[in-house]
Chain A
Amino acid sequence: MASITLEHVEKVYPNGHVAVRDLNLAIRHGELLALVGPSGSGKSTVLRLIAGLERPTAGRILIDDDDITAVPPERRDLAMVFQSYALYPHKTVGENLAFGLSVRRVAAAEIRDRVQQAAVTLGIEPLLDRKPAQLSGGQRQRVALGRAIVREPRAFLLDEPLSNLDPLLRVETRTELALLHRRLGATMVHVTHDQEEAMTLGARVAVMREGRLEQVGTPLEIFQRPANVFVATFLGSPAMNVWRCNCTRRGAVTRVACAGLAFDLEGTRNPQLDQEAVLVGVRPHDISLASPGDADAVGRVEVIEPLGATTVIHVRIDRASSRAVRIVVPADRALAVDDEVAIRIRRDRVYLFDERTGMAITPP
């Protein structure tokens, strides 16, 4: 097992496209780091850079303390699970698992043992003699995983390994992956575009956008203290509501106001603001229905999305504004489209971001 360090890594393609810019990231020994971001954010490129399948145009990559920037992929001793699984179609499952070992000239008897052991671990023992074409998606995914673990590599690189599974199987496999990580104690980098997958799997989560690392931290750190508006809206489902509001100073407290909605920042983490305008973010879970007396705003229900345990409603506060406010309410709350509702925002969960840079405004 190993730690992986990226120092000022940059990847510019010959056509001028900048896939990764000045990226610094330290993946700790034995850690499962989830690398998450929308498509095109450069997260897969980062994984391929670590794997050695791409060469960085600047910067260094270290495994433990060895600079491996110029080491070809076959000598980095890392294992990768591809999104398409990339199983060798002409080899049986057993041969697929054994390939990495036979390349390394491991003795035949040991190969047999280790393949057997990996197959048992993943429950693919009965499939060893089959060809990949005869397997279901879930089985292929396990074989791909098996091919990685049988080698006992220094670290695992997982490129959206769950994205080709159906939702039920995905959640199941996610849990198994977490268990597998705990059992192996291996360093893993898990690339995904699914924020939920990243939050549930990663000991730490690294959020990327447009080739830049936006924030790294534990899932809760990132969820509770997002560094900027992008991270705040990307993580969490349903996504955070963000409004652009004007600020007015009223003595010790600042009041924010935007279409149909106005409240004092008293009780929030930054009661005093000097900006003229600010981005106000509130997660749907932190807005509740209230009696008209202590409401922050009143609006009409526009869309109702029952999720089972809870229901997401979209409330249009001001007819002129194009955006509706997303609110999570208990499922037993009887509501109908066009009902008038009053809402209240939890003051201690209000996030403020700089109107121009989008960076979080932290308490002084």
Chain B
Amino acid sequence: MKVRRMLPALGVATVLAALMFPLYWMVISSFTPDARLFAAPTLVPRALVLDHYRALFGGREFWTPIRNSLIVAGATTGLSVGLGALCAYALARLQFRGKTVTLAFVLAVSMFPQISIVSPLYLLLRELGLINTYPGLVLPYLTFAMPLTIWLLVGFFRQLPAELEEAALMDGAGRLRSLWEIMLPLAWPGLATTAILTFLYCWNEFLFALSFTLGPERYTVPVAIALFRGQYQVPWGEILAAAVVATAPVAAIVLVAQRRIVAGLTAGAVKG
């Protein structure tokens, strides 16, 4: 009887351990001196040093890719939520021809495998002179961020009672005014969720960032990390330290906002 009750807990613990172990290993290794990295591995480290972090921010100027990532992810998030909110509101509330088709099309755009549009995008950006610039990353990111934003926010807006908006209209507020003063404040949890998800997506994006940047002054965090490896050696310690630095803000955001994200992802699925 007791064993039977313990079994599920045991299962959960196993899965959790399997999931957490790589993270744990990453953090531990990033604090382990190079000399010990390839010695017989132990679960509990004997010495922790900050060497790798020093090298990261001293020698490699890891601040630059962090800044790049923040700018690109931030700008994409801002634009995508700002424009996406307007699009989503229109799709959720206004009556116009081809609404369903538009929504389906928006979704279809995000279905293309990224790799299939890298080359055309590259040519396009080159013609526009946007290779190795911030807009050169923000614009392609929007093609993926906007559908996500629009779909999430359409769900949120549909969920809000239509009468509130009608009340605003009767009060004399136009569409934009009622969107700004009534709908957006009420859709705030949805906007936050969408912003977080978009930010995470951009922060982690690798393929476009690798393809459309040319030098370290524009590398984003994932690209910078990938390019750490030299011809003759792979600086594992620094790579892992960088991975920790790249993961920390993501983990922090998710931990703080996890309830909101789950609520946001399932919003509109059921009422109440």
Chain A interface (Cβ within 8 Å of chain B)?
51-53, 72-75, 77-80, 82, 84, 86-90, 99-100, 103-104, 147, 151, 157
Q: How far is B50's CA from A95's CA once the two chains are assembled, in angstroms?
A: 55
Instruction: Give 4 new A-B contacts, CB below 8 A, not counting A73-B166, A100-B172, A157-B170.
Output: A84-B163, A86-B164, A100-B171, A147-B171
User: Shortest beta-carbon distance, B227 to chain A, in Å?
Assistant: 47
Partner of B181, one of A52, A72, A74, A99: A99
Given A88-B164, A90-B185, A80-B170 contact (CB < 8 Å): yes
Q: Does B174 have its Cβ within 8 Å of any Cβ on chain A?
A: yes
Q: Which residue of A lies closest to B165 (CB)?
A: A86
Q: Does B177 contact A (CB under 8 A)?
A: yes
Establish whether residues B172 and A86, one from each chain, have CB atoms under 8 Å apart when the complex forms: no
Cα–Cα, bound, A51→B181 (Å)? 21
- Any chain A CB within 8 A of the CB of B161? yes
Q: CA–CA, A199 to B168, complex, Å?
A: 31
13 contacts across the A-B interface (CB closer than 8 A): A73-B169, A73-B170, A74-B174, A86-B163, A86-B167, A88-B164, A88-B182, A90-B186, A100-B171, A103-B177, A104-B172, A147-B171, A151-B171
Q: Which residue of chain A has the shortest Cβ distance to B181 in the bound complex?
A: A99
Cβ of B173 under 8 Å from chain A: yes
Count how many chain B residues have C-beta atoms less than 8 Å from C-beta atoms of the other chain: 17
Residues of B within 8 A of A147 (CB): 167, 171
CB-defined contacts of A88 to chain B, threshold 8 Å:
164, 167-168, 182
Query: For B172, what are the chain A residues with a Cβ–Cβ distance below 8 Å?
Result: 74-75, 77, 100, 103-104, 151
Q: How far is the CA of A52 from the CA of B171 in the complex (A)?
A: 12
Q: Name the A residues within 8 Å of B173 (CB-CB).
A: 74, 99-100, 103
How far is B168's CA from A103's CA once the two chains are assembled, in angstroms? 9
User: CB within 8 Å of A: which of B171-199?
Assistant: 171-174, 177, 181-182, 185-186
Q: How far is the CA of A103 from the CA of B171 in the complex (A)?
A: 8
Which among B163, B167, B170, B174 has the highest number of chain A CB atoms within 10 Å?
B170
Residues of B within 8 A of A74 (CB): 169-174
Q: Bound complex: CA of A87 vs CA of B167, how far in Å?
A: 8
A201 to chain B, nearest CB (A): 21
Asked if A53 and B164 sit within 8 Å, CB to CB, the answer is no
Q: Flag B139-160 by CB within 8 Å of A: 1 or 0 each.
A: 0000000000000000000000
Residues of A with C-beta under 8 A to B181: 99
**Is there an interface contact between A80 and B161, defined as CB atoms closer than 8 Å?**
no
Minimum CB distance partner of B160 in chain A:
A89
Q: How far is the CA of A75 from the CA of B170 in the complex (A)?
A: 8
* B251–chain A nearest beta-carbon distance, Å: 31
Closest Cβ of chain B: how far from A137's Cβ, in Å? 16
Contact A82 B167 (CB under 8 A): yes
Residues of B within 8 A of A52 (CB): 169
- Taking each of B167, B181, B186, which has the highest tally of chain A beta carbons within 10 Å of its own beta carbon? B167
Q: How far apart sit A87 and B173, CA to CA, in the bound complex (Å)?
A: 15
**Hey, which chain B residues are within 8 Å of A103, CB to CB?**
171-173, 177
Return chain A residues, CB-CB under 8 Å to B166: 51, 53, 73, 80, 82, 86
**A77 contacts across to B, CB distance below 8 A:** 172
Question: A73 vs B168: C-alpha distance in the bound complex, in angstroms?
Answer: 10
Residues of chain B contacted by A90 (CB below 8 angstroms): 185-186
Name the CB-closest residue of A to B167: A86
The complex places the Cα of A77 from the Cα of B166 at a distance, in Å, of 13
Complex CA gap A157/B167 in Å reads 11
Q: Which residues in chain B, 223-260, are within 8 Å of chain A measured between CB atoms? A: none
State the CA gap A88–B173 with chains docked (Å).
13
Nearest CB of chain B from residue A182's CB, rounded to whole Å: 23
Report Cα–Cα, A73/B171, bound state, in Å: 9
Q: How far is the CA of A89 from the CA of B168 in the complex (A)?
A: 12
Closest to B166 in A: A53
In the assembled complex, the Cα of A315 lies from the Cα of B256 at a distance in Å of: 70
User: Quick one: closest B residue to A77, CB to CB?
Assistant: B172
Using CB atoms, name the residue of chain A closest to B178.
A74
Distance in Å: Cβ of A245 to nearest Cβ of chain B: 48
| Top 8 A-B pairs, shortest CB-CB distance | A100-B171, A86-B167, A86-B163, A80-B170, A73-B169, A103-B172, A103-B173, A90-B185
Contacts of B170 in A (CB 8 A): 51, 53, 73-74, 78-80, 157
**Residues of chain A contacted by B186 (CB below 8 angstroms):** 89-90
Say which residue of B169, B174, B177 sits within 8 Å of A53 (CB atoms): B169
Chain A residues with CB below 8 A from B168, complex form: 88, 99
Which residues of the partner chain A approach B161 to less than 8 Å between Cβ atoms?
84, 86
CA distance A100 to B163 in the complex (A): 15
Please give the distance in Å from A118's CB to the nearest CB on chain B.
14
For residue A75, which residues in chain B have a CB less than 8 angstroms away from its CB?
172
CA distance in complex: A99, B178 (Å): 10
- Closest chain-B Cβ to A145's Cβ sits at a distance in Å of 13
Identity of the chain A residue whose Cβ is nearest the Cβ of B171 in the assembled complex: A100
Q: Which residues of B contact A151 (CB under 8 A)?
A: 171-172
Chain B contacts for A53, CB-based, 8 A: 166, 169-170
Beta-carbon nearest neighbor of A14 in chain B: B95
Q: Which among B163, B168, B172, B174 has the highest number of chain A CB atoms within 10 Å?
A: B172
The residue of chain B having its C-beta at the shortest distance from the C-beta of A55 within the complex is B95
A74 to B168, CA, bound (A): 8
Give complex CA distance A174, B62 in Å.
Answer: 71
Minimal beta-carbon separation of B56 from chain A (angstroms): 44
Determine the chain B residues whose CB is within 8 A of the CB of A84 once the complex forms: 161, 163
- Determine the distance from Cα of A77 to Cα of B173 in the docked complex, in whole angstroms: 11
